[in-house]
Amino acid sequence: MKTKEFVVGTILGTVAGAVAAILLTPKTGPEVRAKLSFQVENLSEKTQKLAHDVTDKTQRIANEVSDITLEIAKTMSAHTNQLAEKANGLASTVVHGVKTWREERQLAPESEQNSTNLKTEKLS
C-alpha cells in the first residue's frame, strides 16, 4: 500500500511541478506548448520506467516467495513422512503386543484347566 501511494505521489508531484514551472515562466505560446509537450513525453517515459521497475521487483519477490514456499512444502512433506513411518511402527508394535496378550490369555485358562485336571486326577 505504501509503495502504491509513493508512486501516485511521485507522479502527481512531477506533473504539478512541471505544470507550475511551465505556467509561471514568461514564454510565448509556442514555447509553452513545446515545453509542455516535452514534459508530457518525459513524464510518460518516467512512468513507463517506474512501471517496468515495479513489475520487475514484484516478479523477483513473487519468485522468492514461490521458492521459499516450495522449500517449506518439501520440508513439511519429509517430516510428515517420517512421522507417518513412526506412527506405523508404533501401531505395528501395539498390534503385535495385543495379539501376544490375547494368545497368552487364551493359553492361560487351558493351563489352569490342565493343572486343575491334574490335581483332580491325583486326588482320585
- Dist. CA 99–CA 45, nearest whole Å: 80
Closest CA to 7 of 43, 36, 33: 43
pLDDT of residue 72 exceeding 80, the answer is: yes
Length of the chain: 124
pLDDT of residue 6 exceeding 90, the answer is: no
For 35-70, the pLDDT digits (tens) are 778 888 888 898 899 889 999 999 999 999 999 999
Phi, psi of 86 (to 5 degrees): -65, -45
> Cell numbers of 83, please?
512421522
pLDDT of residue 19 exceeding 90, the answer is: no
- Dist. CA 60–CA 67, nearest whole Å: 11
pTM exceeds 0.75: no
pLDDT of residue 14 exceeding 70, the answer is: yes
